[in-house]
Amino acid sequence: MIAAFVISSVVVAQDLPEHETITRNAPDDVTLVADFYPAPADATDAPVIIALHMLNSNRAAYAPIIPDLHEAGYALLNVDMRGHGESGGARDWEAAIADVADWIAWLDASGQLNEAGLAIMGASIGANVAIISCAESALCAGAIALSPGLDYRGVKPEAALVDGLADRAALLVAAGRDQSSATAIRQMFLNARGAVTARMVAGRAHGTRLFDSDYDSLSGLITLWLEELFQSDEP
């Protein structure tokens, strides 16, 4: 289950692809903001990746990997969760999970989704939200969880992973010295019934800070996992 690896690298800033900033209201009138990056013009039936940042962060945290995901042929919805970045409202995690469902409905209604479906990627508490949100949406093929936890501020994703994603997929990543997340992915992997991949990396970086410490390996892992998720003939 667990493999450790280190590739020393420096994340070099790249120009972000063309995108549109979406500002809309949730059903409770809280203003929500996200950037939508369409797939490359030559990518037909492209899946969509929804990205959810960490606590006290914002959508800019995913800037390092956006060019790689775009080049790999994906569309991306990079979200400021409520109470963070440009999105309004208080930090309410049940409401944040409902917001993800609302964003999925917006993607579907605006014609951005197709038969390829989507995956949800999150970091730290965003990882927990991503697992739960994916489990609750029939349109979601799988979840990527960077430094998930068993219980972050009452957001507990294990049941969603074990039961809700029993016939789907998840990628769980944590740094070995990030004790709470490392323990969480070991337990979730052992209890999971779906196609779950767990990867332990060196160091103690947490959430999207993993991009700073091990970018090349992490980006390669994510894009390869997504390729297998969306191109495999197996569930």
Place of tokens 């936890």: 149
**Residue 205 and residue 214 in contact, taking contact as beta carbons nearer than 8 Å:** yes
pLDDT of res. 232:
56
Q: What's at 68, amino acid-wise?
A: D
Q: What is the pLDDT of residue 177?
A: 96
The per-residue pLDDT for 57 is 98
Domain 20-231: state its class.
Answer: alpha beta
Q: Is the pLDDT of residue 61 over 60?
A: yes
- Asked if the model's pLDDT at residue 65 lies above 70, the reply is yes
How many Å separate Cα 164 from the centre of its chain?
16
pLDDT digits (tens, 9 = 90+) for 153-196: 999 999 999 999 999 999 999 999 999 999 999 999 999 999 99
Residue 217 has pLDDT above 70, yes or no: yes
d(CA 9, CA 7): 6
**pLDDT at residue 2 is higher than 60:** no
217 vs 195: CA distance, rounded Å: 21
β pairing state of 20-25 and 75-80: unpaired
Least confident interval from 30-34, 145-149, 211-215? 211-215
Average pLDDT over residues 29-45: 93
Q: What percent of the chain has pLDDT over 70?
A: 92
Q: Are 167 and 173 in contact (CB under 8 A)?
A: no
Instruction: Flag the least confident range among 11-20, 57-66, 99-108, 166-175.
Output: 11-20
Q: Please check the confidence at residue 234 and state whether its pLDDT lies above 80.
A: no
Confidence of residue 115 (pLDDT cuts 50, 70, 90): confident
* pTM beyond 0.85: yes
Query: With bands split at pLDDT 50, 70 and 90, how would you rate the model's confidence at 3?
Result: very low
Q: Confirm if 191 and 162 have CB atoms less than 8 A apart.
A: yes
